[in-house]
Amino acid sequence: MTALPLLAIELSYWQATAIKLGAVMTVIPLGSLVLVYVFLFKMMSHMQSRLGPMEAGPHGTLQVLAEAGKFLQKEDIFPARADRAVFGLAPVVVIVSTFMLYAVIPAGPDLIVEDLDVGVFFALAVGSISVIGILMAGWSSASKYSLLGALRSAGQLIAYELPLVLAVVGVVIQAGTMSLQGIVHAQADGEIFGFGLIGNPFILTQFIGFVIFLIAAQAELTQTPFDMPVAESELVAGYMTEYSGFRFLFFFIAEFGSAFALSGIAATLFLGGWYVPFLPDGLLGNLAGPAVLGAKIMFVAFLIFWMRFTFPRFREDQLQAIAWKFLIPASLANIVVTGILKVVM
């Protein structure tokens, strides 16, 4: 009988999880659709001095629903020589790994699906399941382009898993705990050299970790400048080439869902999550929390998509070289410095 103090009513376990599940199931599609609309439709077009979709709904807002509807009513095609079972299952695996990320992101003092005390570790571990889904998709599509795309993306995701994790280790050392809620509280009431007014958002002290996390997140999402697996000009659409209909929508939702989740984790780890100074706790805090987290997520997502619309694409070997020769040593150095400072301070 977990008591939800917030609502001051007694809920049995399964009722609480049902509510949380419902909340998560609405946040993900909503979040990714907002992300698609704001960044992929509006920001990208304005950056390219054009208006973007304007017809559907006021200022093109309903265009996103039209896109989703279009994918749903498209025919679901299986290539002739495809391995049907694996081909059908691959998008499910990819989307499951994205959904599980949302289990540990705190949106308010009490608004968290499950406050695991190994939250960060769980999030990053679950994030790497999508590699299996991508390999399944690439192999089962029985087409040259998909195979090449899948192999490239497997190499890339594994190569960038490491800097992602190592960048987070610095934050964990400084916060002293791995649970995301704990990290938010550590940032809330920590202070830098005695000046504690705005708490201690780790972006200030862990700036290198923040930059590495952003670059690695960009690579995890296979976005330009790391979008080799889905390089249009060479491999048409990488592992997604043969997919159509709602299976392609799964991949699409997975991509933007994980973009939303990774920006959420980045906001929580580096920008103080749902905390903002003078946030009243209790009911009001739980209402303001998601809004604050949403704003921070939008800021981090802006950085990610800004890089996506400006830079050309790395070549495969350059991409790997950056991960192994530049990001990993930098994040290790960051960990060492944080460790020493933690002890000395």
Partner 1 sequence: MGLVPGAVKGLGVTLRTMFKPAVTVQYPHVKEAPPTRARGVIALKEENCTVCMLCARECPDWCIYIEGHGDKAPPRREGGKPRTVFILDRFDIDYALCMYCGICVEVCPFDALFWSPEYEYSEVSIADMLHDKDKLGEWMATVPEPPPLEVGAAAKK
Partner 2 sequence: MSLTSNPAPVDWQKASYVAAQAADARVNVELETEGMILNIGPQHPATHGTLRVVVRLDGEEVVWAEPICGYMHRGYEKLTEVRTYPQVTTLINRIDWLGSFANEVPFILGAEQLMGIEAPPRAQWIRTIFFEMARIANLTLFLGDMGVQLGALTPVFYAFRDREYVLNLIESATGGRFHPNYDRIGGLKDDLPRGWIDECQGAMRKVRSFCDELEDLLMGNEIFQARTRGIGVIPAAIGLDYGMSGANIRASGIDWDLRRDSESPLAWKEVDWKVWTHPDGDSFARYWVRLQEVREATSIVDQLLEGLPAGPIMSKVPKIIKVPAGEVWCHTENPLGEMGYYIVSQGGLGPFRCKIRSASFNNVSILSWLLKGVYVPDVITILASLYFILGDIDR
Spell out a b/e string for 127-147, using b for 16 or more CB atoms within 10 Å of the CB, else e. bbebbebbbbbbbbbebebbb
Q: Residue 195's beta-bridge partner residues?
A: 192
312 binds partner 2 (CB under 8 A): yes
Which residue from 10, 114, 232, 281 is in contact with partner 2, where contact means CB under 8 A?
232
* Distance in Å, CB of 254 to partner 2, minimum: 21
Q: Which does 306 bind (CB under 5 to 8 A by kind): partner 1, partner 2, none?
A: partner 1
* Distance in Å, CB of 53 to partner 1, minimum: 11
Nearer to partner 1, 311 or 324 (CB): 311
* Distance in Å, CB of 233 to partner 2, minimum: 5
The stretch among 26-34, 249-257, 295-303, 312-320 that binds partner 2 (CB under 8 A) is 312-320
| Cβ atoms 279, 289 nearer than 8 A | yes
81 binds partner 2 (CB under 8 A): no
Q: Which does 128 bind (CB under 5 to 8 A by kind): partner 2, partner 1, none?
A: none
Of the candidates 291, 147, 303, 292, the residue with the CA atom closest to the CA atom of residue 221: 303
Q: Find the radius of gyration of the CA atoms of the chain.
A: 21
50 binds partner 2 (CB under 8 A): yes
Q: Letter for the amino acid at 326? A: F
Q: Which residue has the tokens 């009490």?
A: 110
Nearer to partner 2, 228 or 267 (CB): 228
For 129, phi and psi rounded to 5 degrees?
-70, -25
For 306, phi and psi rounded to 5 degrees?
-60, -45
User: Rule CB under 8 A: which of 22-51 touch partner 1?
Assistant: 43, 45-51
Nearer to partner 1, 130 or 224 (CB): 224
321 binds partner 1 (CB under 8 A): no
Site string for partner 1, 258-297 (x = CB under 8 A): ----------------------------------------
- 228 CB burial (10 A radius; 0-12, 13-18, 19+): buried
For residue 116, CA distances in Å to 10, 61, 88, 122 come to: 22, 37, 32, 8
Q: State the sign of the Cα–Cα–Cα–Cα dihedral 199, 205, 207, 212.
A: negative
21 binds partner 1 (CB under 8 A): no
Which residue from 65, 318, 340, 341 is in contact with partner 2, where contact means CB under 8 A?
318
Q: Which does 43 bind (CB under 5 to 8 A by kind): partner 1, partner 2, none?
A: partner 1
The count of other CB atoms within 10 Å of the CB of residue 85 is 10
306 binds partner 1 (CB under 8 A): yes
Q: Residue 192's beta-bridge partner residues?
A: 195
Q: How many residues bind partner 2 (CB under 8 A)?
A: 25
Q: Which does 123 bind (CB under 5 to 8 A by kind): partner 1, partner 2, none?
A: none
58 binds partner 1 (CB under 8 A): no
Q: Which does 233 bind (CB under 5 to 8 A by kind): partner 1, partner 2, none?
A: partner 2
Interface residues with partner 1 (CB under 8 A) are: 43, 45-51, 54, 306-307, 309-311
> Which spans of this chain sit near partner 2 (rule: CB under 8 A)?
44, 47-50, 144, 148, 224-225, 227-228, 231-234, 309-318
